A and B are shown apart, each in its own frame.
Chain A
């Protein structure tokens, strides 16, 4: 089998990946876009090429159309799990396939911050993003009573989208502290120059009220209960206890970079206490440090949302085009500078959003019985005990508890673990636990199909 070669491989077909592909094709690179979903769009634009729903942000449609006609090869359902020099390995429908690429742009987006509350693993508990995915991708909505709980703009947006589609939430349980609005404005006086954002937020609240959805504010102490599946959510709101009988609970506490693939490629990340997530170390705004010919764009570098991702995707593509020799420096500067300055103007409101929607469901204050590592069933209490015993540092706790060693490879617990440690032992080591090849759980049969001399396995001599 001859190996197909591309100038550029892009991992992820969300806003950043699609925009990068369009830009790179404009400068005549051959481009492959690998994405694990069945259709392009990523999370925010999920289903945009298949469902034709009208409620996407207005920049989404033109971007998706440009992507579909740009001439990049879109390889759907491809879960990338390895890179060796110019070789990229991925699984598709249970089979290993590979391509060769001179450069790689990682655009793997964000994922929802894991929500550590008691009962978070009961069937019927999902994330708010999950409900949005089901609506946009599969055309499904909750059949029975459900509640959206947590913090962040997605809560209101998703409640409105679901209600418009005929599925009205029983309630929204907001965990945003009451004092946050004022304190956040102090951190971002620039917001006063961005009234559009405020108008958008107020507009969502008005639509929630029009739908008649109950909103419980300043909520805390959330517990989800049920025997084999969700039956009840209990919480306190403004000091008063409440309980609601529901079949589904959707949790949300903001999003964090989905950086597992980059880390498994050898990228480094540093814990950011203010944002309560890991951030990739970069050489420039798009070039990943320590990796040759690997760039990154969109929310996996920093959480700025879909539209910004479509700009950083283009910037990453331009940087790749320059380094791979497809653009002259003068022409490159003439295209890049206007884009980069547009991006800087858009950053103003972000400081407010980051402060206002900082995480609320903190693992450090969660009840002992909440599960921190879903896969290995490690509770908050078990981690708390280890920290009290003096086990120090993210890697030491991982080794002592198996936290992060299950099938999700730490996607769901690494951030929670670091956040808990940061609260209890701020001077601890936050080194991101290593992720090794392969970046996805694959079968031995799939690994055997990749007989291209992958040295990491140590088994191909």
Chain B
């Protein structure tokens, strides 16, 4: 008998949702338990395989690159205290001690929607007990745009996108939300006009309009939404509030909106927490930096991976107790003081809500899988003086709060409330430079490492992230390159086969990175992977040709490449 199959093996199949983004793709996860092989991977994960869930109303079995490789992203977390493996009960006890030893003002609870509605709600109950609301990471945005957030909730379904006459795209679907592509393809086949607003030309678009990050939409004549228009944008912790406000001011009340979300259950978490007074993402980070925050609990929300500032790992050390409740071994687990390991997402039971407002049940097909995550939260609540939680009761409460239909094939549109009057507030909101401190005027600095024509500012560009499931989840892919326009490639003196050095004013340099020539605006460089030189969503950088072709110096000589 083999190492792969033994007579006592058991194969469990779970119907779950991909955690790569908030699109809500259904997927089957197959877990093979054998006695001969305890684990399938070096990280301790069991042998896993995905299967395509072709009856899913969201994705009909289709998955993006992240989803196809989903089985490789379930390295289990291990419960620990100060890096030492402990039982889950010990980790829970340490968490309770930390919470009891801190004032409410010294505690922050973060849940961006990386887990089920039921766990998020259980976490909220802990927050209520402590007098500390659970933050979803989006509060800063809503704080700024006020009542306009009424337009960013459940609105348009993916099927509505397919029948739209006009679609305005403010996201790159190929990179950020790949399962949108087929919906747009269907819309285009039916004659939809698709206008892409942004820095990069998209093949799916019938018209591409270059809109720079700090351009006011009031100045973009092509942006003329009407009743036939569906506007697709997204809400992330880094969404620029002024742009969002302009979108709603101009199109609110006449066009339909579909706001994509980067986290699996960001929509559900947002709805459950919508009436709570949360701390913003920036508030939490600032308090961590100042030392004001003593205890941070992240529920399936890896602040280090989510934060585009590479220094976050260091900032974590300012906390007295960084506590991570996690279903996966993520970056934050490696630096957390306490890790409470829970079951993997595919073994969780309950529901998540996707970007279109569809409640998707997660049914642990294997039956009575222990819900370690939910009951860990319940145990913490009990230890803090609350009542133990009953899963069925919490599930019913969550469904009621969400006002959703439990049939995943039907989306319940919430009762239509009169939409708030739209008052122009965008002109009062801070501009990009104020929001992202590293954003400055083009060519504002020249890297000291620059060898080529540094004085003239050649190669100076703004770096922007093309956010995507791999980036948000801290997973590496084959995306270790930057993208520039053809003109920018010339300006940076780049040559085919050579690499680029990218540096920022902060002194960080990424050497010998590969580059791709893309149809996009000049003056920008895009990347999909977290870069040390980028401390903010938008950063001034200098891109120049690496001095030598990596690993092939002899070829450089032979070719006599002009310098």
Does A associate with B in a complex? Answer: no
